[in-house]
A and B are shown apart, each in its own frame.
Chain A
């Protein structure tokens, strides 16, 4: 991906450079599995409970288990206090997270049961759903739930005509030229896409380029996730 002339990112990163990532596993002692994942100032924690019996009973599915995600931004995570509790936005992201994670989970082994994933955003600077999915994937692995693969999530942005990796808040609000397009993508290390959202305008050629960028970024994230899981057992 080449940089267009005269383009500078607000924080001086290269177009394909991600913010500093950090991951840690086993941070919530009472959960069955838990993890933290951060992109720069965006910090997400995920806690997994279960598999356990689904309650109420009429929601049980005897064919396969259920994955239930709850995404929530804590009231102090942004500079203007946000009202705690479910909102239109958080319910959408919860559902999206479920769809992003379900294809990799071997949930068929847990009929009539539910796996609860609680994602909390401690600090937000854009890409919170991606940080949340990354943390949730780590927490699910930590909970010992059978998975086909890990998943890594990254947001690709189009600022005016320039594609960039890992969007932050200043870039998300980009107003010059064509404005900002935000494309959160979730994929497995070998490039299978489990989730793709697009908010804005983009040509099909540019979208293909964006996916290629995400492939590269997802590999980087995967290495961070792998390291976090492997190191938590070495203590």
Chain B
């Protein structure tokens, strides 16, 4: 394949040779066999500065460091909370990663089983996933609406540099937190606004393959408001 075609993304299947030659480095979802870069996952192959990676478009959510996720408190331990974030491995929110002082007997007062929480992944190690809520915008979710979408469609809901999510926020006046695991927290002044955001997100997930989606969603909002 010639270098000029590299910017174009293409669909690859496991075992397919993406590039030949020594100019490339294998990134996520790829492997080097001899002088070939081979895909080991089904998805879109991308190349930038010689690094080749494959982005999955289906399957379960794969947690990554730095991801903001929304999860449900599954259990309490002496040292923190076990959070279900819809990933293969369970996540843990330690006491130290909660702002303010928490006494060891008072865990349930902060968050109890069944509560929803927005958190950030700070580490993935052999012992599982570690979370934090010591940042702005994170913490226990008290009110609003939570919906679930396919985690592979999250980048479409956020849009290029957040263009889509900013459009939704402006049009509805709601505060929207998108978890990379596919859970979305919508907080607005009126329930009608929150339901409008839900409808808009469902519209985006259905049309996730069309290009120029942000413009289309803008028109959709105008149509919805005219009703």
In the complex, the answer to whether B14 meets A149 with C-beta atoms within 8 Å is yes
1/0 contact string of A89-118 vs chain B (CB within 8 Å): 000000000000000101000100100000
In the complex, the answer to whether A235 meets B15 with C-beta atoms within 8 Å is no
Residue of A nearest to B152 (CB): A144
Report the count of interface residues on B (CB-CB < 8 A). Answer: 22
Report the count of interface residues on A (CB-CB < 8 A). Answer: 30
A138 CB to closest chain B CB, in angstroms? 9
Q: CB of A143 within 8 A of chain B? A: yes
1/0 contact string of A24-56 vs chain B (CB within 8 Å): 001000001100000000000000001111000
In the complex, the answer to whether B15 meets A188 with C-beta atoms within 8 Å is yes
Give residues of chain A (144-160) contacting chain B, Cβ–Cβ below 8 Å: 144-150
In the complex, the answer to whether B59 meets A189 with C-beta atoms within 8 Å is no
1/0 contact string of B182-207 vs chain A (CB within 8 Å): 00000000000000000000000000
In the complex, the answer to whether A150 meets B13 with C-beta atoms within 8 Å is yes
Query: Which residues of the partner chain A approach B11 to less than 8 Å between Cβ atoms?
Result: 229-230, 233-234
Q: CB of B221 within 8 A of chain A? A: no
Known A-B contacts A110-B88, A146-B40, A148-B40; the reply to A230 vs B58 at CB < 8 A is no
Q: CB of B114 within 8 A of chain A? A: no
- Chain B positions within 8 Å of A, measured between CB atoms, are 11, 13-16, 29, 31, 40-44, 56-60, 62, 88-90, 209
- Chain A positions within 8 Å of B, measured between CB atoms, are 26, 32-33, 50-53, 104, 106, 110, 113, 141-150, 188-189, 225-226, 229-230, 233-235
